[in-house]
Structure 1
Amino acid sequence: MLWPLLALMAAAWLALILLLARGGRKGVTLVVLGSGGHTAEMVYLLQGLGAGLGTKHYAIARSDKHSVNRLQAVDPTAEKEGRVHYIYRAREVHQSMLTTVFTTLLAACESLCLLVRVRPRILFVNGPGTCFPLIILVRLLRIFCGLPGSTVFVETITRTSRLSMTVRLSSWAIDLLVVNWKQLAETTGAKFIPLYTS
């Protein structure tokens, strides 16, 4: 009974590798928007970067009801053009640790499907928990499938002396970590770029 299931999983993995073998789309960036402050900071960054990130797709948590409205300020046609994608969060606020196992698996599956559809060259994030499965999967797809995706993580400005839990858990999978505070860069080895100054 177990062998047919394993064979099916192996066939699905092989099909995924063949599909992904075409590599990332040139000039496509997947931006993760979190709720509240994370989205406000990301909108600020996107306004400053302009067209520097190429064609942008956006990943937003299904439970986030506000980020898509804030996105209108920098990319008003994104939703109409189908470049806004809703995914599950690995863990919601106050969710029990027991059910987190299942929602994390669900979030990982949905994140993988999103990466297959969008095939970004750059994953651009600033710390919401929604980005965690995407960061890990971009690195794993590069290791096992040879995909050219890279992750740029701009740590939230509120982190002045210690990195966020998302960074600490996924640091091995992040290609470029940028922090806004010099003392944080000195203690962590991250790149110091004061992006949020006016």
Structure 2
Amino acid sequence: MASTALEAVQDWLLRFPHRPINHSLPPSLILYLVPPLPSRQTTAICLTLVALIAMRLYFILPGPVSDDFLRRAASKSPSVGGTKKEGDQQAERKVRVGLFLGSGGHTTELLQLLRALPPGRYAERLYLYSSGDNFSLQKAREFERTLVPRSSDDTPPLHTLEVPRARRVHQSFLSTPLSLLYSLAFCIDHIVRRPLVDAHITRRAQWRQRRARQGWNDDGARCPFADLVLMNGPGTCVPIVVSIYLLKFLGLPSPKLIYIESFARVKSLSLTAKLVRPLVDRFVVQWPEAAGPLGGRTVYNKWLI
């Protein structure tokens, strides 16, 4: 009897693919399995949101900058054509700079570039480094010690932020999206949310004391995280750039982004450079063959290190 039942099941399975689906399954079950189409109102709302997001991204993405525009901007800068008072005000303003140390040669190159900046004006420095990168942390400490007079025994303050790696060395591509999302969430929390909350608390305290203080300076137009971010790779700087673009998307003050391609990239750009090139305000190469056609936001100033 068991063999008869098995033969019946096999016969039904053989005939099932040749039968129409409405003969094999009841119509009510078919209607339940097929998802309903969205209504016209829902479709219109979704299309409107997509259009608004696309328009916002179009306006915040840095567009191509002509060489004539750069020359006109340089001629109008206070250091060239401005008044002495304007030049003094610009020179007195301290710039808060964030530096992403990418470990190894990336860290060495970026610290060499940092030595060319006036330490008095770029006095507020925040070093960002990947998790577990003790080499970059030690190099940042050594650099800060070089700025302290030898006669002084004081330990210079070191402001750092350890960022989770977007992708570890030899990490599987299957687990990379998870680590990338974790790194992005960390950057949004420490670059966007926490600085905004701290700035709001500080501004409330200044607002309460403004009548008792003379010459109170409203610093609300500046980004609470940094005024400028310098990067030269590798991939962990991508979540940093994306989190900063969240500030731009929300219309909040955001730092300028400058990416300097590594000296080792002679003929072609790195993958990180290709990803961040459309997003940064200045893209600097040290070999003209690496970036292809120059101009606009792509700058070639020969060797920088």
Question: Map of 1:92-171 to 2, 5 A cutoff?
Answer: 92-116=168-192, 117=195, 119-171=225-277
Match of 2:300 among 181, 192, 195: 192
**Any gaps of 5 or more consecutive residues in structure 1?**
1-25
Letter in 2 for 1:143: F
- Cα offset for 1:69? 1.0
8 A contact 1:45–1:195 mirrored in 2? no
Question: Counterparts of 1:100 and 1:127 in 2: how far apart (Å)?
Answer: 17
Larger Rg: 2
1:115-174 CA-partner distances (Å, limit 9, x unpaired): 133611211101122211101221231122332321100110011121111111122211
After TM superposition, the score normalised by the length of structure 2 is 0.52
After TM superposition, the score normalised by the length of structure 1 is 0.78
8 A contact 1:156–1:179 mirrored in 2? yes
Letter in 1 for 2:176: T
Letter in 1 for 2:105: G
1:19-38 CA-partner distances (Å, limit 9, x unpaired): xxxxxxx6211100011100
Match of 2:131 among 51, 62, 82: 62
Question: Map of 1:9-88 to 2, 5 A cutoff?
Answer: 27-51=95-119, 52-76=121-145, 81=157, 83-88=159-164
- Cα offset for 1:113? 2.1
**Any gaps of 5 or more consecutive residues in structure 2?**
1-93, 148-154, 196-223
Which secondary structure state, in structure 2, belongs to the residue aligned with residue 104 of structure 1?
A: helix
Which secondary structure state, in structure 2, belongs to the residue aligned with residue 173 of structure 1?
A: coil
8 A contact 1:30–1:124 mirrored in 2? yes
1:34-69 CA-partner distances (Å, limit 9, x unpaired): 111000101111112232534110111112121111
8 A contact 2:97–2:229 mirrored in 1? yes
More strand, by proportion: 1
Letter in 1 for 2:189: C
Instruction: Report the counterpart of residue 174 of structure 1 in structure 2.
Output: 280
8 A contact 1:28–1:53 mirrored in 2? yes
Residue identity over aligned pairs, in percent, reads 27
Which secondary structure state, in structure 2, belongs to the residue aligned with residue 151 of structure 1?
A: strand
